[in-house]
Amino acid sequence: MGHFFGAVFMFILAGIALVGAVFIGLIKVFKSAGKGGETDEEARMIQEIYNSMSRMEERVESLETILLDKEKK
């Protein structure tokens, strides 16, 4: 049972880290928007990170469901 909670905790931490990275990236984009530069490239990269994070969140939820179903049996 301890391993189960450890695995779920690690998945949650990974998701939180990705969310934090996206927010930091968004802040940098908004700060650099006034400067010009490579804002389009940065925005594209952040959007890719956000999309990847959304897919990872779905996978984590699926894994949590699988683990909870196995634990119930």
Q: Comparing C-alpha atoms, which of 45, 72, 32, 17 is closest to residue 64?
A: 72
Show me where the domains of the chain are located.
2-72
pLDDT given for residue 72 in this prediction? 79
* Banded model confidence at residue 2, pLDDT cuts 50, 70, 90: low
Burial 33-42 (b: 16+ CB within 10 A, else e): eeeeeeeeeb
State the average pLDDT over residues 65-73. 82
Q: Which amino acid is at 42?
A: E
Rounded Cα–Cα distance for residues 19 and 54 (Å): 9
In this predicted structure, the answer to whether residue 4 has a pLDDT above a threshold of 80 is: no
Q: What is the pLDDT of residues 10-68, one digit of tens each?
A: 888 888 888 888 888 888 877 766 665 566 787 888 889 888 888 888 888 888 888 88
